[in-house]
Chains A and B, each alone.
Chain A
């Protein structure tokens, strides 16, 4: 009995050590953001600062148009997520429930494009953005983000819809409903766990996307968070880490809060694809 108790304690101990190692970078991030900007190259470097100050936060909130980037990222991520949720769920609904010519080919193509890194298509997508005059517009980010997440979202939601019994659909059709009714009253609500799960990932992806936004957006007031944060690295080798990390902390907050609220969705969304 004693041995078993010790054994359990050891497991907790190992897990705790692991947590400490994995969270060190985040602790360092937060502590640096709370340090006066000048003492960043102080010696010895400290994990916990001697003097805690909010001067970095004050600077980025009041002196830089940081909230603008925050808003931009939020709008882009939300629009992309909602669009992707509607488009991929309706596509998944068709693939899961109906037969139509070219269906197998369409599904095979969607599967195949899941493999290809979205970034390899960035050049023709850039040319498309030029043609549709989407350069330097927030609206230019959304279709590409939706396109990048569409294959995976469709695949995941289709798998989930196939698990929903068709009896409900039957009932609607017998009552004189059509495909829209089924989609709206059966599929959307019943598939919502998987839609929510992929949406969380899609939101994260759009929230943190870097290369496409860097390529397309020029204006300061249209920059998204990752561009604003990484853009703090100036010429003449002059970086103000305190500001960079203060912005980082603020931009992480909504993500972490969302995660804490919906963490069971994260898990179910991930595992439904993995276990099959």
Chain B
């Protein structure tokens, strides 16, 4: 401890004196890209959200104050899109974590074919959203494979289910796709976390006579708490990022009932060319996701 304490200030002193201009050279590319393509757009977006914004050289943008924000909040489709997004998050985040953790625990407990299973479960993660969205669209279309299986093979219903035609089932297919694609990611991070749990803890528990389930709830879960928090935060952010799957499978149809936050933003910007509205909407989306993330941190801190 004391050793660390001595090294740290010595190093700092030295480097600050010696390396200023080199530091600048190392920093500059990052600062340019970050500043120009991330920070500047954030500021610009904020400005745009108060204008009836026009893109182009001969166009004039008119200052409209809070009108864009008022329009967003008064828009029934915005409310629909946000509630669709929140439901998407509420369904996909826990499901991915639970299934991913289950698979991780199972893979962790076996000795042979560990890597094979890990690879197979991870494959959906690396396939592109465009492709899996199209595959799901094909499987879930009215004449698709799934309807054939549940009606003609298993006789669960007499009629084909129009999965992508109804708002509720359309969102369900998107959620299913999200879960399917996310299990592998969760499996891998939980597998790594499980490897980090000290074996002594389990040994102590088995001497005490705890069963497998007890071990899981009293030893495993508390030990990987931080990983679960990480997963919850990352997956919630991911849920707000959902775009391609909805855009390609339902496109917001019918009548914008399956719109999510980003598809509605994209529609407003590039279909309706209401850039001011879309800018205000972007800000609101960013605010919501920031608030959700912060409250998740707070909630988990309480448990520590």
**Chain A residues packing against B (C-beta within 8 Å):** 8, 11-12, 14-15, 18-19, 22-23, 25-26, 28-29, 32, 41, 43-45, 47, 86-88, 90-91, 93-94, 97-100, 109-110, 112-128, 130, 143-144, 146-147, 150-151, 154, 166, 169-170, 173, 178-180, 183, 204, 207-208, 210-211, 215, 225-226, 229-230, 241, 244-245, 248, 251-252, 255-256, 259-260, 263, 266-267, 270-271, 273-276
Say if the beta carbon of B120 comes within 8 Å of chain A: yes
Chain B residue with minimal CB distance to A230?
A: B130
> Contact at B130–A210, with CB atoms within 8 Å?
yes
Chain B residue with minimal CB distance to A97?
A: B15
Say if the beta carbon of B1 comes within 8 Å of chain A: no
> Which residues of chain A are near B196, meaning CB under 8 Å?
275
B73-81, B198-206, B224-232: which lies at the interface? B224-232
Say if the beta carbon of B128 comes within 8 Å of chain A: yes
> Contact at B23–A274, with CB atoms within 8 Å?
no
Chain A residue with minimal CB distance to B55?
A: A127
Contacting B41 at CB < 8 Å: which of A98, A121, A173?
A: A121
Chain B residue with minimal CB distance to A229?
A: B130
Contacting A274 at CB < 8 Å: which of B127, B145, B189, B241?
A: B189
Chain A residue with minimal CB distance to B196?
A: A275
> Which residues of chain B are near A114, meaning CB under 8 Å?
237
> Contact at A248–B117, with CB atoms within 8 Å?
no
Distance between B36 CB and nearest chain A CB, rounded to angstroms? 7
Contacting B230 at CB < 8 Å: which of A15, A241, A274?
A: A274
> Which residues of chain A are near B243, meaning CB under 8 Å?
119, 210-211
> Contact at A14–B106, with CB atoms within 8 Å?
yes
> Which residues of chain B are near A47, meaning CB under 8 Å?
145
> Contact at A143–B33, with CB atoms within 8 Å?
yes
**Chain B residues packing against A (C-beta within 8 Å):** 7, 11-12, 14-16, 18-19, 22-23, 25-27, 29-31, 33-34, 36-42, 44-45, 48, 55-56, 103, 106-107, 109-110, 113, 115, 117-124, 126-132, 134-136, 138-139, 143-145, 148, 152, 180, 183-185, 188-189, 191-193, 196, 226-227, 230-231, 237, 240-241, 243-244, 247-248, 262, 265-266, 269-270, 275, 278-279, 282-283, 285-286, 289-290, 293
Interface centre among A94, A118, A151, A170 (most CB of B within 10 A): A94
> Contact at A99–B145, with CB atoms within 8 Å?
no
Distance between A59 CB and nearest chain B CB, rounded to angstroms? 17
**Can you give 28 contacting A-B residue pairs, CB < 8 Å?**
A11-B109, A22-B183, A28-B139, A90-B29, A91-B27, A115-B286, A117-B289, A120-B286, A123-B48, A123-B269, A124-B40, A124-B48, A125-B37, A128-B37, A147-B36, A166-B7, A173-B18, A211-B243, A211-B266, A215-B270, A230-B134, A255-B128, A256-B126, A266-B126, A266-B188, A271-B191, A274-B230, A275-B226
Alpha-carbon separation in the docked complex, A273 to B45 (Å): 30
> Contact at B189–A251, with CB atoms within 8 Å?
no
> Which residues of chain B are near A146, meaning CB under 8 Å?
33, 37
Chain A residue with minimal CB distance to B293?
A: A115
What 3 A-B pairs are tightest by C-beta distance, nearest first?
A: A271-B192, A208-B128, A91-B30
Given A8-B110, A127-B44, A267-B188, A147 and B33 contact (CB-CB distance below 8 Å): yes
> Contact at B129–A121, with CB atoms within 8 Å?
no
> Which residues of chain B are near A19, meaning CB under 8 Å?
117, 120-121
> Contact at A270–B192, with CB atoms within 8 Å?
yes
Contacting A151 at CB < 8 Å: which of B38, B241, B266, B289?
A: B38
Alpha-carbon separation in the docked complex, A241 to B143 (Å): 13
Distance between B86 CB and nearest chain A CB, rounded to angstroms? 15
Contacting A150 at CB < 8 Å: which of B38, B121, B128?
A: B38
